[in-house]
């Protein structure tokens, strides 16, 4: 959501004129098999089915047959390295299934296929491998002296 | 102590190696070995499925068979609930896939009479129909409030009431006029708003993420995680009227009706133009796209009457389609037409598997002969007619191999929605459509005939629980069957994983020191593993137990669950 507040309309107030909504919708790749004319979104929990329909119709000029949505729980995880510390919960979100007319098809595009992206991911992997190796070396040195700081000996 | 020792060497050993091997050699020609079977997990499961179904086939009564289907689940089968008048967008592919039905949209149905036969009946019936239609249209059905005179009939909200009363009137007029000439109508039974349920299994749905999780827990190899799975489907319907008879409708001569196209039709075969909807492979999870709910239910197929009714075969069922009014108009006209097709397919299939189950076939044992049904769907003004032939109802995985190379399919013939008349002006009906009247007439005039083959090959001599001699067993089975069909929840609540347990015990192990007592900590799955007979029988009081003596054996009464 943007920082601008979405004012509640009270009777008697001037009519709300919204040029762009305060919502963001995220198109997601389906994890399960679904019909070709169905598109899946993750949207803010405050958005209603009518909002979703209007958003797609008015901004993107998409023909919408129906919208089904439900609020899902955010993931539970451990706060530190996903392994230690208290259990925390990510934010809830609304998962929306938008049905287009059945003669239309949508396939989730293959994003992130450029050369630049591949180069960047390769670099990332390389650096993470280096740090992993360093950690292994550190463990080897510390093997029979647990709890000793790294600077203690050469 | 005096003992006589016999040295071992001196005793002739009868079971010694040389003698016994000679014995084996002699017997070898007579030896019977068990069959060599594939013991990999998947073929074993399929064999298990087939042997369970064989056990159900060998049960001798209708009621025991339907209890037998439910034996593996104490809390009922997790099934997709389909209701007759809840038809989501683009439902026809789903309806066709789960019933394996080909539908032909035709102009004239296979049961259509020739023109000369019907004309005199139509002339006789028309004035009576006109009277009652005009009456129904002008009737005040607002229960107290007067209908505004300028309001059109189509806009008044109570279409269901309206369609229902018109269907009842039409049915009454046709029966009254025709039963003198057609005695089968005189013998027929009529049910108003009966309870129809169908329960069947369909193999081939794509596995969801949850299914994959369950498979992972069962150590299914990684490459098999995404294999298609079974879904149980439970249909609930309530036709407005159903007419049934003690003889079945004759099956449709298929060579005449499936093969004629508009081009290749010869002169002696009736010329029919049709639009074919062949069976699609709709394997998406219907809970996502169609929002069909999953519920845990005991599976029961009921065709609207109890098994000991005499009139066991359907003649005609009339349904209403008032739900079309509430469907959004942006679905499109052709989609609305397909929704009616889907309604007809599901309603006919469910009714026919109910009838078939009263003949001793279950979803686990394939039909040996086709069953036929006619159905009419109306909103009072527009009518569509369907004919359905049930050829197959076993859609388990093990059936795929049996069916190869060509799987049998059910066939549905249907007409488009057509208006019975154009309008009503000055209490007169304008613009009768005689084709609709002919179709209506043909449905009633289609005479059921006795078949020359055995009707219940899979039933024993008792056929029904009511014919069992052992009174205790009879009463017990009867009660159990009624309890299953009633869909009341089990006496105790379903086992449940509470949210705090899911978070702090299952997903994150934070409570190491607590005793492991709950079912998920003991690696049990009561919902899917507890069997229907996994409980004690009724307690026998001590005074009734073996002349009041203090003995502990046999404290619980016998139960007569079928051995499945």
How does pLDDT run across B378-393, given as a tens digit for each residue? 998 899 999 999 999 9
- Which residue out of B94, B97, B277, B284 would a mutagenesis test of the A interface target, given it has the greatest number of A Cβ atoms within 10 Å? B284
* Nearest-neighbour CA in chain B from A69: distance (Å): 10
- Cα–Cα distances (Å) from B47 to B33, B41, B136, B397, in that order, read 18, 10, 58, 11
> Residue B145 has what pLDDT?
53
Coil, helix or strand at residue B116: helix
Task: Give the end-to-end CA distance of chain B in Å, rounded to a whole number.
Answer: 60
> Residue B344 has what pLDDT?
96
- Cα–Cα distances (Å) from B236 to B75, B290, B342, in that order, read 19, 16, 14
> Residue B266 has what pLDDT?
40
The reply to whether omega before B405 is within 30° of 0 (cis) is yes
Of the partner residues A31, A38, A78, the one whose CB lies closest to the CB of residue B289: A38
Of the partner residues A31, A32, A65, the one whose CB lies closest to the CB of residue B89: A65
Say if residues A25 and A45 touch (Cβ distance below 8 Å).
no
Contact criterion met (CB < 8 Å) for A38 and B332: no
Of the partner residues B288, B332, B507, the one whose CB lies closest to the CB of residue A34: B288
The average pLDDT across B405-410 equals: 81
Of the partner residues B89, B206, B503, the one whose CB lies closest to the CB of residue A33: B206
Q: How confident is the model at residue A144 (pLDDT cuts 50, 70, 90)?
A: confident
Burial letters A97-126, b for 16+ CB under 10 A, else e: bbbbbbeeeeeeeeeeeeeeeeeeeeeeee
Rounded distance, CA B454 to CA B470, Å? 27
Rounded distance, CA B190 to CA B318, Å? 11
Q: How confident is the model at residue B305 (pLDDT cuts 50, 70, 90)?
A: very high
Of the partner residues A34, A65, A87, the one whose CB lies closest to the CB of residue B330: A65
> Residue B273 has what pLDDT?
62
Rounded distance, CA A76 to CA A85, Å? 12
* Nearest-neighbour CA in chain B from A72: distance (Å): 14
CA neighbor of B345 nearest in space, from B449, B233, B261, B255: B233
- Which residues of chain A are within 8 Å of residue B284 when distances are taken between CB atoms? 33-35
Ramachandran angles phi, psi of A116, nearest 5°: -60, -45
Rounded distance, CA B26 to CA B530, Å? 48
- Please give the angle made by the CA atoms of B455, B372 and B195, to the nearest 5 degrees: 90
The percentage of chain B sitting over the pLDDT mark of 90, rounded to a whole number, equals 59
Give just the sign of the alpha carbon dihedral B122, B127, B132, B136. Answer: positive
The average pLDDT across B478-495 equals: 90
Q: How confident is the model at residue B562 (pLDDT cuts 50, 70, 90)?
A: very high
Rounded distance, CA B318 to CA B167, Å? 7
Percentages of chain B per state (helix, strand, coil), in multiples of 5: 40, 15, 45
Containing H/E element for B373? strand B371-378
Q: What is the DSSP letter of B552?
A: -
Lowest mean pLDDT across A17-26, B42-51, B187-196: A17-26
- Which residue out of A102, A104, A105, A106 would a mutagenesis test of the B interface target, given it has the greatest number of B Cβ atoms within 10 Å? A102
- Which residues of chain A are within 8 Å of residue B87 when distances are taken between CB atoms? none
Q: Is the pLDDT of residue B152 over 60?
A: no
With 0-12 / 13-18 / 19 or more C-beta atoms within 10 angstroms meaning exposed / middle / buried, residue B8 is exposed
ipTM of the complex model: 0.81
- Which residues of chain B are within 8 Å of residue A34 when distances are taken between CB atoms? 284-285, 288-289
Model pLDDT for residues B197-207, shown as the tens digit of each residue: 999 999 989 99
> Residue B16 has what pLDDT?
61
Directed axis angle between helix B62-70 and helix B333-358, to 10°? 120
- Cα–Cα distances (Å) from B246 to B158, B187, B348, B531, in that order, read 35, 8, 18, 36
Model pLDDT for residues B354-376, shown as the tens digit of each residue: 999 999 999 999 999 999 999 99
Q: Give B310's contacts (C-beta < 8 A, 6+ positions apart).
A: B246
* Nearest-neighbour CA in chain A from B284: distance (Å): 5
Residue of chain B minimizing CA distance to A78: B508
- Which residues of chain B are within 8 Å of residue A99 when distances are taken between CB atoms? 89-90, 289
Q: Cα–chain-centroid distance for residue B408?
A: 17
Torsion of CA B301, B303, B306, B310, to 10 degrees: -130
Rounded distance, CA B215 to CA B202, Å? 19
Q: Is the pLDDT of residue B261 over 50?
A: no
- Which residues of chain B are within 8 Å of residue A102 when distances are taken between CB atoms? 89-90, 335
Residue of chain A minimizing CA distance to B205: A33
Tell me the residues of B at the A interface, defined by beta carbons under 8 Å apart. Answer: 89-90, 206, 208-209, 283-285, 288-289, 291, 328, 330-332, 335, 503-504, 507-508, 510
- Please give the angle made by the CA atoms of B124, B128 and B134, to the nearest 5 degrees: 145
Rounded distance, CA B389 to CA B526, Å? 39
Say if residues B443 and B385 touch (Cβ distance below 8 Å).
yes
Q: What is the DSSP letter of B208?
A: -
Contact criterion met (CB < 8 Å) for B90 and A102: yes
Residue of chain B minimizing CA distance to A39: B289
Q: Which tokens in the block code for residue A54?
A: 């209007």
Q: How confident is the model at residue B4 (pLDDT cuts 50, 70, 90)?
A: low
Q: Give B401's contacts (C-beta < 8 A, 6+ positions apart).
A: none
Contact criterion met (CB < 8 Å) for B504 and A87: yes
> Residue A72 has what pLDDT?
94
- Polymer length of chain A: 154
Say if residues B281 and B204 touch (Cβ distance below 8 Å).
yes
- Polymer length of chain B: 564
> Residue B159 has what pLDDT?
66
Of the partner residues A38, A76, A97, the one whose CB lies closest to the CB of residue B507: A76
CA neighbor of B223 nearest in space, from B42, B39, B413: B42
Q: What is the DSSP string of A28-76?
A: ---SS---TTEEEEEE-TT--HHHHHHIIIIIH-----EEEEEEEPPPE
- Which residues of chain B are within 8 Å of residue A31 when distances are taken between CB atoms? 209
Q: How confident is the model at residue B15 (pLDDT cuts 50, 70, 90)?
A: low
Contact criterion met (CB < 8 Å) for A34 and B332: no
Rounded distance, CA B321 to CA B379, Å? 6
Residue of chain B minimizing CA distance to A98: B289
- Which residue out of B88, B90, B503 would a mutagenesis test of the A interface target, given it has the greatest number of A Cβ atoms within 10 Å? B90
> Residue B271 has what pLDDT?
47
Rounded distance, CA B359 to CA B453, Å? 13
Say if residues B345 and B280 touch (Cβ distance below 8 Å).
no
- Which residue out of A35, A97, A105 would a mutagenesis test of the B interface target, given it has the greatest number of B Cβ atoms within 10 Å? A35
Contact criterion met (CB < 8 Å) for B285 and A34: yes
> Residue B217 has what pLDDT?
87
Q: How confident is the model at residue B156 (pLDDT cuts 50, 70, 90)?
A: very low
Of the partner residues B89, B209, B508, the one whose CB lies closest to the CB of residue A99: B89
> Residue B30 has what pLDDT?
83
Torsion of CA A94, A97, A100, A105, to 10 degrees: 120
Q: What is the mean pLDDT of chain A?
A: 87
Contact criterion met (CB < 8 Å) for B289 and A35: yes
The average pLDDT across B518-539 equals: 91
Which comes out higher in pLDDT, residue A77 or B264? Answer: A77
Q: Are strands B410-414 and B101-106 parallel, antiparallel or unpaired?
A: parallel
Q: How confident is the model at residue B546 (pLDDT cuts 50, 70, 90)?
A: confident
Q: Is the pLDDT of residue B91 over 70?
A: yes
* Nearest-neighbour CA in chain A from B89: distance (Å): 8
Q: Is the pLDDT of residue B120 over 80?
A: yes
Beta bridge partners of B230: B203
Q: Is the pLDDT of residue B323 over 60?
A: yes
Number of H helices, E strands in chain A: 3, 6
- Which residues of chain B are within 8 Å of residue A87 when distances are taken between CB atoms? 503-504, 508, 510
Q: What is the DSSP letter of B556?
A: B
CA neighbor of B62 nearest in space, from B487, B478, B368, B349: B478
Quick one: three-class SS letters along A2-17?
A: CCCCCCCCCCCCCCCC
Q: How many CA atoms lie within 13 A of B177 on its CB side?
A: 21
* Nearest-neighbour CA in chain B from A65: distance (Å): 7
Of the partner residues A33, A66, A76, the one whose CB lies closest to the CB of residue B89: A66
Ramachandran angles phi, psi of B453, nearest 5°: -110, 170
* Nearest-neighbour CA in chain A from B327: distance (Å): 11
For the stretch A61-64, contacts whose Cβ atoms lie closer than 8 Å and that sit 24 or more positions apart, written own/partner, are: A62/A98, A62/A100, A63/A100, A63/A101, A63/A104, A64/A98, A64/A99, A64/A100
Q: Is the pLDDT of residue B466 over 80?
A: yes
> Residue B154 has what pLDDT?
45
Residue of chain B minimizing CA distance to A102: B90
Coil, helix or strand at residue B545: coil
Q: Is the pLDDT of residue A1 over 70?
A: no
Residue of chain A minimizing CA distance to B505: A87
Contact criterion met (CB < 8 Å) for B504 and A31: no
- Which residues of chain A are within 8 Å of residue B503 when distances are taken between CB atoms? 76, 87
Say if residues B350 and B392 touch (Cβ distance below 8 Å).
no
Lowest mean pLDDT across B407-411, B520-524, B545-549: B545-549
The average pLDDT across B120-141 equals: 88
Contact criterion met (CB < 8 Å) for B508 and A32: no
Q: How confident is the model at residue A110 (pLDDT cuts 50, 70, 90)?
A: confident
């Amino acid at each position: 959501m943007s920082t601008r507040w979405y004012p509640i309309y009270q009777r008697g107030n001037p009519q709300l004129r919204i040029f762009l909504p305060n919502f963001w919708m995220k198109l997601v790749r389906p994890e399960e098999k679904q019909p070709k004319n169905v598109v899946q979104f993750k949207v803010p929990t405050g958005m209603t089915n009518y909002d979703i329909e209007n958003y797609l119709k008015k901004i993107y000029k998409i023909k919408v047959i129906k919208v089904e949505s439900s609020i899902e729980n955010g993931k539970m995880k451990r706060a530190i390295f996903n392994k230690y510390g208290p259990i925390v919960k990510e934010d809830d979100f609304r998962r929306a299934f938008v049905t287009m007319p059945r003669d239309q098809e949508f396939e989730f595009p293959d994003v992130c296929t450029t050369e630049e992206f591949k180069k960047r991911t390769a670099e990332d992997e390389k650096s993470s491998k280096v740090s992993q190796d360093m950690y292994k070396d550190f463990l080897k040195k510390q093997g029979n002296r647990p709890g000793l700081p790294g600077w203690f000996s050469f | 102590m005096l003992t006589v020792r016999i040295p071992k060497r001196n005793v002739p050993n009868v079971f010694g190696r040389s003698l016994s091997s000679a014995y084996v050699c002699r017997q070898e020609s007579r030896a019977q070995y068990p069959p060599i079977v594939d013991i990999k997990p998947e073929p074993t499961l399929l064999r298990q499925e087939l042997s369970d179904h064989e056990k159900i086939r060998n049960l001798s009564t209708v009621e025991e068979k339907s209890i037998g289907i439910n034996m593996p689940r104490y809390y009922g089968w997790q099934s997709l609930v389909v209701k007759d008048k809840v038809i989501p967008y683009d439902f026809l592919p789903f309806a066709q896939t789960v019933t394996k039905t080909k539908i032909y949209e035709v102009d004239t149905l296979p049961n259509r009479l020739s023109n000369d036969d019907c004309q005199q009946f139509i002339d006789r019936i028309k004035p009576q129909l006109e009277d009652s239609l005009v009456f129904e249209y002008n009737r005040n059905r607002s229960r107290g409030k007067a209908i505004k005179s300028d309001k059109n009939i189509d806009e008044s909200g109570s279409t269901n009431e309206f369609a229902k009363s018109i269907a009842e009137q039409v049915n009454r007029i046709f029966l009254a006029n025709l039963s003198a000439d057609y005695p089968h109508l005189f013998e027929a039974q009529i049910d108003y708003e009966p309870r129809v349920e169908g329960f069947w299994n369909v193999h081939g749905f794509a596995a969801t993420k949850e299914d994959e999780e369950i498979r992972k827990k069962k150590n299914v190899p990684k490459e098999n995680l995404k294999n298609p799975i079974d879904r149980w489907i439970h249909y609930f319907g309530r036709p407005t009227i159903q007419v049934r008879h003690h003889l079945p409708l004759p099956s449709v001569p298929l060579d005449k009706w499936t093969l004629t196209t508009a081009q290749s039709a010869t002169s002696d075969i009736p010329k029919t133009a049709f639009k074919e909807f062949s069976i699609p492979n709709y394997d998406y999870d219907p809970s996502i796209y169609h929002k069909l709910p999953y519920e845990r239910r005991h599976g029961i197929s009921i065709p609207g009457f109890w098994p000991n009714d005499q009139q066991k075969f359907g003649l005609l069922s009339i349904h209403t389609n008032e739900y079309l009014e509430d469907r959004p108009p942006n679905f499109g006209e052709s989609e609305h037409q397909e929704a009616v097709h889907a309604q007809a397919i599901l309603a006919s299939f469910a009714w026919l598997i109910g009838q078939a189950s009263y003949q001793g076939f279950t979803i686990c044992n394939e039909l040996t002969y086709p069953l036929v049904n006619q159905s009419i769907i109306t909103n009072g003004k527009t009518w569509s007619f369907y004919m359905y032939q049930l050829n197959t109802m076993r859609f388990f995985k093990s059936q795929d191999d049996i069916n190869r190379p060509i799987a049998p399919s059910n066939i549905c013939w249907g007409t488009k929605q057509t208006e019975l008349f154009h309008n009503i002006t000055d209490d007169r009906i304008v613009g009768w459509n005689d084709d609709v009247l002919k179709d209506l007439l043909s449905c009633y005039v289609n005479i059921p005939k006795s078949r020359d083959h055995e009707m219940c090959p899979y039933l024993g001599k008792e056929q029904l629980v009511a014919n069992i001699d052992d009174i205790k067993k009879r009463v017990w089975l009867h009660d159990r069957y009624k309890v299953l069909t009633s869909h009341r929840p089990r006496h105790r609540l379903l086992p449940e994983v509470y949210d705090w347990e899911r978070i702090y015990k299952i997903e994150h192990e934070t409570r190491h020191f607590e005793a492991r007592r709950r079912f998920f900590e003991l690696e049990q799955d009561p919902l899917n593993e507890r069997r229907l007979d996994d409980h004690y029988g009724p307690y026998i009081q001590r005074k009734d137990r073996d002349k009041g003596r203090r003995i502990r054996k046999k404290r619980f009464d016998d139960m007569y669950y079928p051995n499945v």
